[in-house]
Amino acid sequence: MTKLKLATIWLSGCSGCHMSFLDTDEWLIDLAARVEVVYSPLVDAKVYPRDVDVALVEGAVANDDHLRMIGLVRARTKLLISFGDCAISGNATALRNPLGAPEALVRLIYAERADAHGQPPDAAGIVPALLGQVRPVHAVVPVDVYLPGCPPPAARIRAALEQLLAGEPVRLAGRDQLKFG
């Protein structure tokens, strides 16, 4: 039996979606028999591989590194799932958007409000450049499936993955499966 190549990606978010994925508990043992985790913050893969079957993308696109990564993920993945409310709508990560240009926000946080000797982290290579606006994943690349929740409950994650493993399209129905937040 050929295993499904599964990736999980963490962009701008809190890791709650990944924690909820781990909350599928013993089912992870069954899942491990049917998938090969080829990329994830949970494993030590450094390069996003080619020919990934399914990617769960947590978080919004907030900086240059995220923008590069999500383009690579989309190009190398058959089925991209926006994993959680940050990936779907920007959610809490997009709260900086109404505040204007990110440079002013960085200056405020790291210099003006610093306790002592504040200095924004602006040396090249230290912090990726922030985008002008935090964007949900679908605003940057096409998304195939939306898995809402902050975070999506373990049962919802399991239901979606079980459908994919059965060769079916993901169809979430009812308040338990479609609720945001």
Residues comprising the chain, all counted: 181
Query: Residue 133 belongs to what domain range?
Result: 4-94+129-172
pLDDT surpasses 70 at 179 = no
Tally the domains of the chain.
Answer: 1
Residue 166 lies in a domain: yes
Residue 124 lies in a domain: no
Half-sphere exposure of 18 (CA within 13 A, CB side): 18
Per residue in 38-83, pLDDT (tens digit) is: 999 988 889 999 999 999 999 999 999 999 999 999 999 999 999 9
Mean pLDDT of 105-132: 81
pLDDT band (50, 70, 90) for residue 119: confident
Residue 181 lies in a domain: no
pLDDT band (50, 70, 90) for residue 180: low
CATH code of the domain containing 85: 3.40.50.700
